[in-house]
Amino acid sequence: MGTIELRSFNRRAGARAMAAALLLAALGGCSVDGLVGDASLPSGVNDPVATETPEGALSVYRGALAIFATAFGGVPAGFAPTTFIPVTGVLSDELQDGSLIGLPPAAFNLAGVDIRLLPQQTNPDLETFTGTPSVYAALQQVRGQAQEALGLLRDFPPQASPALQSHVYAIEGYSEVMLADLYCSGIPLSTLDYKGDYTLRPGSSTGDVYEHAAALFDTALTLAGDSARFVGLAQIGKGRALLALGHFADAAAAVQAVPDGYTYAVRYGPAAVPQNFGRMPAPSLTWDFSVSDREGGTGLDYRGSADPRTASTGVGVNIGGVALFHPDKYGADGMSPIVLADWVEARLIEAEAALQAGDAATWLAKLNHLRETAITPALADTTDPGTADARVDLTFRERAFWLFLTGHRQGDLRRLVRLYGRSPDQVYPIGIYPGGGAQYGSDVTAPIPAAERVSNPQFTGCLSRGA
Amino acid sequence: MLLAVGSALSVSAPLAAQDSLASTASPPAQAPAAQPAAQAPAPESPGPLERKVSLNLRNVTLGDALKEINRQAHLGLAYSPKVVPLNQRVTLQANDITAGEALQRALEGTDVEIQVGQTGTVFLVRADRKAAAGVHGEGMIGGQVLDSATHERLDEVQIVLQNTSFSTVTNQYGIYNFYHIPPGRYTILARRIGYAPVSKPVTVVDSIRAEVSFALVSKPTRLTEVVTTATGPKRRLELGNDIAVIDADSVTRTQPVTNVTDLLDGRVPGLVVQRTTGAPGDPGRIRIRGASGVLTNNDPIVIVDGVRVYSQQSNARGANLAAGGFPAPSPIDQIPVQSIETVEVLKGPSAATLYGADAANGVIVITTKRGKPGPAQWSVTADRSTTFIPGRYADDFLRFGHLAADGTPIACQLTTTVGAPEQHQVANLCIADSLVRFQALNDPTLTILDRGARTAGTLGVIGGSETVQYAVTGTYENEQGPVRLPALEVTRYQLSHDGAALPDWMQRPEQFTNWGVSSRLTARVSQKADVAITAVLNRGNQQRSSLESQIQSLMGTYVDRTTGQYFQPDLSGQLLQPLDGALSNYYTRVTDNATNFTNGLTFNWRPLIWLTASADAGINVIHREDASLLPRGALLTNGDSVGRAVDGRATSVVSSINLRATSTTQLGWGLRLQTSVGANYTNQSIDDLTADAFDIPLGATSVGSRFVNTQITENSAEQATFGWYVEPTLASRRFWLSMGLRLDGGNAFGGNVRLISQPKLSPSWLISDEPWFPFKRVFNTLRLRAAYGRAGVQPGPSDRLRLFNSPVTGPVDGQTGGTTTLHSFGNTQLRPERSTEFEGGFDADLLSDRVTLTVTGYHKTRDDALLEVPVPPSVYGGGTVIKNIGVIRNTGFEMSLGAQVVRSDLVTWSTQFGLSHNYNKVVSLAPGVTAFTTDVASGSRIVAGYPLNGKWSKPVVGYADLNGDGVLVSNEVIYGDSLVYLGPSEPDYTAQMSTSLSLFRGALSITGDFQLQNGLTQTGSFSQLLGVSRGANDPTAPLAEQAGVLAARSGADNFLNSQTVRMLRFNSLSATYNVPASFARHLGARAMSLSLQGTNLGLFTNYRGKDPGVNGAITGDFVRDTGVLPQPRTWQVRVNASY
């Protein structure tokens, strides 16, 4: 037995604690840095520094073009084609949802869009479908990517950077025009600051969005330099925006310099943007839509007219036994380019402006100029129907046929209501929905998705659901 | 103060004391039970003072002389420095004299007298004390207290002279003394927590020292349980936190528990299990004291025998990686529950600070069974059970009609959407023909619900020698879920597939097989070191199919028996299109095969009396093979059935190292300082790869290397954290104060590591042992405690960065080159989030230990909470950005009450009741962060002043049947424009009650438990079935139901479909009969029991759906019942035998 007297605080206590600490330090605390090391980035992503080079700027620029191509008429890999051209085609009189007509509602369809029932609530057709970005999200993503690209092109300029910036401004402008064409008044144009944060915006009216787009096209024109391709793209875009605003003369002026033969088409290929609109991903290439014919009684006779501009071919029947028609202007391989802007549209804008100015002769000449030169073999000249309304009808019919399935028809139908005083029931499909028994609804615009309402405090909802 | 001379390590108390532990002044009958023979005194042993010593001391202090005498004679000398003049110089030279003589010579000239206690301890007392006592008519009582089993001297034993003001405690040698006691008869009480109190009568005679010694019988209580902490095992008494301990071995033997989640569910106040579905193998998410975060998940961390294991259940990996719509089995449930000895639950930062940064959501410490010295003891368990979905589903309605104009069949609903259908209604264009009630899920020919079955077995062996012990447990279970393809559909499939036979998985898709082996080996390397090795291997195979998801559509399907036609109205209920069959999708098989391996090594080293050190090192590897398969040609409906196969391969590896050392030293004044320091390191990596292929060849069952349309996605991440800590604990006899500080770091992109400091403080006070404590008759023990602690979580390594997707090369706009798109927004302003918790409470044993009561209140705050905030689509199409969103708080209390209602030889009835309340609140949001929605489908939002992920909806403000036709249309309902709060996503009150009845001396035991939850706001599956709801079809439906339908169609759907739920579940019942030993022996067993057990035996709830306890939201913290499989009822027979 030892003998320990505990008279007061044992001074060895501190030493013992220290000894224990030193032991631990020796065992484990010495080289934690070596143990931990640097973290690695998740796979599939790049440090932003990697983009901050001329090559990086170029890659982000191309990213903007790729996203736009998808949002416009492509199919996100592995997902359904709920992008701008199919959706606006289904809402208007161009297309019907082939998986719906004659059938009970399936999990994948654009039922609400086709039947014009788009209540201001969560709408799976326009929000997301098994991860598919909605048209709204896709077009807004184009705007965001464009803003990133513009920052990089400015700060890390590759060769011919101003022209590329012009291209990006124009693409951003088109995405805004498309947003304004499809969605209700009150679209937020939030911004993504290059290298910085983002700024949320309240909803802008339809007119304001077109105005903003026109300003973007103006900027594009100032940067385009001698690039005829980008100049024409910006000019037609500006003309389209001004036309939507009812500024007919300005619109005509904007496209006046677009030469005959000019075409800007969005290309689709097997890699970055594998499919064009309306087809499921390769290799199935299934077609879930059908070209309409006098849809709802008010729709145009895209099939019945036998017009080569809207020719279509039967591709069998769906499981409800309803025949489906595929447009001839797009190949079955899903790789056809889709025209975004061309001289035909420029001349159509000029024709409409002439009609608005009371110059029926110029109007008719412009229309017939196209029929004679824009297609082979040439179409027979059209004649003046003589009345104002009929002239308007002819103008829009010509636009619908020339611009068939290029994403213009929905904007045109809204213009007919907004600028020409037509009622929605005069221009949009009405009556009994084909095969389904229910009646068409009355919506002419899509609501802003709920995701915007619930996460953007500055956004309070659609300002108007009218045209 | 009495000082003792002797080594604390020596246990060589004079053996003569063993027979004389009774008071010398008390009758022999009061002597305690006879001591074991092995401990009896040797008759020839000399008394301590007779032992021989030889001394050669010149001019040394008396103190040194006493030490030398004590060293040679092993006297266990005890004295007070106030009595003995230790500095007095003495010279003592003698050979082979007795210790008594040596002491007398050393003490010559002093007024110190030698006394020998009953236990053989030699006391030096003041000679005049005896005289003084005689003079003043006073006596003295003294003695020693030992553990009756180990004979260790017990310190801190409270000694009370009852009905007097005299009380004291024993010193570290178990010795106590009372002085100046007036002569008379007294009762003296000795008590110490963890021992049964003993009282003895004593008579004090003038001037005589009466000796009363005690041998206390150990009686462990909840407070004396040893629990595992970050710094090693400690008595619960010493901790300021409430730590729940589940005796898993006992529970699994007597109750129908199949996995770790079952084991935790309803047994820990404050712990809530969110079940996903009732499919075999499906997980439950564990929440302890509420949720505090969204980005940083709310899953507790799990440690198995010192090894950190992968335990995340709430992120994307909680779902099947190949078919995200299905949950994957929980990694926690891959630990074989039968191999577990105890589970301890540390509930929050106040308890878990030293476990590291990610322990803010609590820590679950699992200890597997350990071996025991002795021959191998085998145990065998076999289970066989049947499962089924209890009860009936509520009826749905459909109002058939036709259009007046052309007779087109249409569903003539009462309340319809704005626009054309309502025009039908208003213009009487829709003519109602009939109203039908139906529910396909209740129809035996249509339903997919059937009986399932489960078979399970366990084989275990425990044994070893004094130096090496082992425990090995093997488990196997196979379960078939209660889902079956109805015969009608089998026929339909064969007709459309040229008579081809359906694969088994299409007909009985739900199968779950799980087997595992767990072993633990402990070995004593030397007297100062031991080592333990744990190895756990588990393999789980889960199979299911999309047939499960048909519950939702099937409940809205009407079958016209006259025509054989099926109708499934769409969401707006307008279209009446006959279908070929009731089921549209049962063609996708989903499998999840997981192999889980955990290996750990623990090394304990006691190099010095005052220093111990230990190290844990381990690795946990989980390899998953997830797959989904839609075979080519399986679809009935169209010609593009090209098939799809998705294969996922995922591996998680968690490696951890923990080092700790603890020193203990006495400070004097009854204080002891225990200092622990430690360091730990955890590295967690995941590596997931998914291949998704369309257009697969006929007969292919997985993704092949030559498939054309295959898309590969990869997800890998690695994160390491390290930390070190120091925890000094100051302990007195009744008070413990533990302080601690931990520094945490982790890796980050770029390697910039910033340490976070996390302090803790926890006092614990055994107030019932205070001499002045006035309620000793009521409280056997009363302990007050409090704890404060903090834990912090760093953002992810790359969360601050704005990242871009790696370039994809391909032609864009006619140019070939890379295309780069934005991957994540990044946030350079991110700060670590910090969780701070304060808890306080008490533990009490009352009424002769028949009642135990534990009450704890807590206040847990998470500052700078990290959250993935949705970014509106107007910014880059949407997405999320990580922000420090503000402050989230959980406040609540937990109570646990245990009572032995009847305690007799024949019958024992005990009951345990637990109650907890948690109030969750987003206290404030950071500047610039406004309220936002986290889950649109369930209406979950984050709003300051309301619970995290609380449910919100636009309300119905009012309604009135203006035209008196009994049917509401949209203009008769007024909706609110602003969202209103509906309720929380987690229950605010939970309660559990378990009761156990043992009859016929334990031959028959019956246990049952109930669970109660209140306050959970469930978003129900009926939200998907508006078209067939009564409110939409039945003209006699209450106006409120009609208004709800209208509201749902006007954007206020959650107002109708969300419901704040109360539910009482009769969770389990088990009756176990212990077969007579003679019969068991006849079968070759030592013991055998038979059990009949049931689970989910009753559900009493206000919920309008089927089961409010399931959750279709597979990840995150949302709660949604989207028509998933409810929890089944189980009846099980179990045989248990040991050999």
Number of A/B CB contacts below 8 angstroms equals 373
Please answer yes or no on whether B679 and A24 come within 8 Å at the CB atom: yes
CA distance B906 to chain A (A): 50
Cross-strand pairs, B822? B804
Backbone angles phi, psi at B551, to 5 degrees: -55, -45
- The crossing angle, in degrees rounded to 10, of helices A206-223 and A228-245 is 160
Residues of A in contact with B876 (CB under 8 A): 140-141, 143-145, 192, 198
Low-confidence ranges of chain B (pLDDT < 70): 1-46, 117-120, 127-137, 207, 220, 293-296, 357, 405, 415-429, 569-578, 636-641, 708-709, 746-755, 797, 810, 1021-1026, 1049-1053, 1116
Q: Please enumerate in sequence order all residues whose Cβ is within 8 A of that of B1078, keeping only pairs 6 or more positions apart, or say none.
A: none
Amino acid identity of residue A235, one-letter, is Q
Q: Which residue of B has its CA nearest to A11?
A: B667
pLDDT (tens digit per residue) in B541-562? 999 999 998 888 788 888 888 8
Cis (ω within 30 of 0) for the bond into A337? no
pLDDT at residue B1050, as a whole number: 65
Residues of B in contact with A21 (CB under 8 A): 661, 675, 677, 726
Please answer yes or no on whether B874 and A189 come within 8 Å at the CB atom: yes
Whole-angstrom CA distances from B715 to B91, B619, B1100 are 83, 21, 44
- Could you give the strand order of the β-sheet that contains B340-346, starting from the edge strand earlier in sequence? B243-247, B340-346, B363-368, B301-304, B307-309
Please answer yes or no on whether B420 and A192 come within 8 Å at the CB atom: no
**Whole-angstrom Cα distance, residue B366 to residue B352?**
15
With beta carbons less than 8 A apart as the criterion, state whether B296 and B1021 touch.
no
Is B1132 in the A-facing interface, judged by CB distances under 8 Å?
no
Residues of A in contact with B575 (CB under 8 A): 104-105, 436-438
**Whole-angstrom Cα distance, residue A296 to residue A75?**
28
Residue B602, both tokens: 């623990």
Half-sphere exposure of A136 (CA within 13 A, CB side): 29
Amino acid identity of residue B15, one-letter, is L
**Whole-angstrom Cα distance, residue B299 to residue B358?**
9
Residues of A in contact with B805 (CB under 8 A): 44-46
Residues of B in contact with A51 (CB under 8 A): 804, 820
Residue B187, both tokens: 């009762």
Residues of A in contact with B826 (CB under 8 A): 48
Is B764 in the A-facing interface, judged by CB distances under 8 Å?
no
pLDDT (tens digit per residue) in B603-618? 999 888 788 999 999 9
Whole-angstrom CA distances from B444 to B451, B481, B487, B557, B1102 are 12, 17, 10, 14, 26
Chain A, 301 to 340: residues with Cβ < 8 Å from chain B are 318-319
Instruction: Spell out a b/e string for A399-438, using b for 16 or more CB atoms within 10 Å of the CB, else e.
Output: bbbbbbbbbbbbbbbbbbbbbbebebbebbbbebbbbbbb
**Whole-angstrom Cα distance, residue A297 to residue A313?**
21
Please answer yes or no on whether A17 and B728 come within 8 Å at the CB atom: yes
Chain B, 504 to 563: residues with Cβ < 8 Å from chain A are none
Which position has the token pair 């008044």? A185
Q: Which residue of A has its CA nearest to B752?
A: A38
pLDDT at residue A12, as a whole number: 47
**Whole-angstrom Cα distance, residue B388 to residue B1131?**
9
Please answer yes or no on whether A42 and B717 come within 8 Å at the CB atom: yes
Query: Tens-of-pLDDT digits for all 467 residues of chain A?
Result: 333 233 333 444 444 444 444 444 444 444 444 444 444 555 566 666 778 899 999 999 999 999 999 899 887 655 566 789 988 998 999 998 776 544 433 333 566 788 887 765 544 434 433 334 478 999 999 999 999 999 999 999 999 999 999 999 999 999 999 999 999 999 999 999 887 789 999 999 999 999 999 999 999 999 999 999 999 999 999 999 999 999 999 999 999 999 999 999 998 876 544 556 666 555 556 677 889 999 999 999 999 999 999 999 988 776 556 778 999 998 877 788 999 999 999 999 999 999 999 999 999 999 999 999 999 999 999 999 999 999 999 999 999 999 999 999 999 999 999 999 999 999 999 987 775 556 788 889 988 887 787 788 899 889 998 98
pLDDT at residue B900, as a whole number: 86
CA distance B907 to chain A (A): 50
**Residue B72 parent element (H or E):** helix B62-73
DSSP 8-state assignment for residue B327: B
Please answer yes or no on whether B1051 and A119 come within 8 Å at the CB atom: yes
Per-residue three-class SS string for chain A: CCCCCCCCCCCHHHHHHHHHHHHHHHHHHCCHHHHHCCCCCCCCEECHHHHCCHHHHHHHHHHHHHHHHHHHHCCCCCCCCCCHHHHHHHHCCCEEECCCCCCCCCCCCCHHHHCCCCCCCCCCCCCEECCEECHHHHHHHHHHHHHHHHHHHHHCCCCCHHHHHHHHHHHHHHHHHHHHHHECECEECCEECCCCCEECCCEECHHHHHHHHHHHHHHHHHHCCCCHHHHHHHHHHHHHHHHHHCCHHHHHHHHCCCCCCCEEEECCCCCCCCCCCCECCCCCCCECEEECCCHHHCCCCCCCCCCHHHCEEEEEECCCCCEEEEECCCCCCCCCCEEEEEHHHHHHHHHHHHHHCCCHHHHHHHHHHHHHHCCCCCCCCCCCCCCHHHHHHHHHHHHHHHCCCCCCHHHHHHHHHHCCCCCHHHHCCCCECCCCCCECCCCCCECCCHHHHHHCCCCCCCCECCC
Q: Please enumerate in sequence order all residues whose Cβ is within 8 A of that of B269, keeping only pairs 6 or more positions apart, or say none.
A: B244, B894, B895, B896, B914, B915, B916, B990, B992
CA distance B119 to chain A (A): 17
Amino acid identity of residue B582, one-letter, is A
Chain B, 62 to 91: residues with Cβ < 8 Å from chain A are 63, 66-67, 70-71, 74, 76, 81
Distance from CA of residue A216 to its chain's centroid?
A: 16
With beta carbons less than 8 A apart as the criterion, state whether A28 and B657 touch.
yes
Residues of B in contact with A273 (CB under 8 A): 810, 812
**Whole-angstrom Cα distance, residue A425 to residue A420?**
14
Residue B905, both tokens: 């030889």
CA distance B872 to chain A (A): 5
Residue B489, both tokens: 């559909």
Neighbour-count burial of A361, counting CB atoms closer than 10 A to its CB (0-12 exposed, 13-18 middle, 19+ buried):
exposed
Q: Please enumerate in sequence order all residues whose Cβ is within 8 A of that of A31, keeping only pairs 6 or more positions apart, or say none.
A: none
Residues of B in contact with A266 (CB under 8 A): 813
pLDDT at residue B636, as a whole number: 57
Mutate one of A1, A18, A114, A432 to test the B interface: name it (highest B CB count within 10 A): A1
CA distance A400 to chain B (A): 26
**Whole-angstrom Cα distance, residue B819 to residue A55?**
10
Instruction: Spell out a b/e string for B1051-1088, using b for 16 or more CB atoms within 10 Å of the CB, else e.
Output: bbbbbbbbbbbbbbbbbbbbbbbbbeeeebeeeebeeb
- The answer to pTM > 0.80 is no
Query: How many Cβ atoms are within 10 Å of A144's Cβ, its own excluded?
Result: 28
Residue A199, both tokens: 């700024």
Residue B667, both tokens: 């400070």
Give the SS3 label for residue B111: coil
Q: Please enumerate in sequence order all residues whose Cβ is within 8 A of that of A306, keeping only pairs 6 or more positions apart, or say none.
A: none
Residue B442, both tokens: 């209740």
Q: Which residue of B has its CA nearest to A288?
A: B640
Residue A255, both tokens: 């496209």
Residue from the list B575, B695, B875 with its beta carbon closest to the beta carbon of A283: B695
Give the SS3 label for residue B345: strand
CA neighbor of B380 nearest in space, from B280, B453, B462: B462
**Whole-angstrom Cα distance, residue B899 to residue B849?**
9
Is A2 in the B-facing interface, judged by CB distances under 8 Å?
yes
Please report the ipTM that was assigned to this predicted complex. 0.88
Query: How many Cβ atoms are within 10 Å of B825's Cβ, its own excluded?
Result: 21
Q: Which residue of B has its CA nearest to A172?
A: B876
Please answer yes or no on whether B874 and A195 come within 8 Å at the CB atom: no
Chain A, 144 to 163: residues with Cβ < 8 Å from chain B are 144-145, 148
Amino acid identity of residue B1049, one-letter, is R
Is B675 in the A-facing interface, judged by CB distances under 8 Å?
yes
Query: How many Cβ atoms are within 10 Å of B37's Cβ, its own excluded?
Result: 6
Please name the residue ranges forming H helices in B951-1065: 1030-1033, 1039-1047, 1053-1057
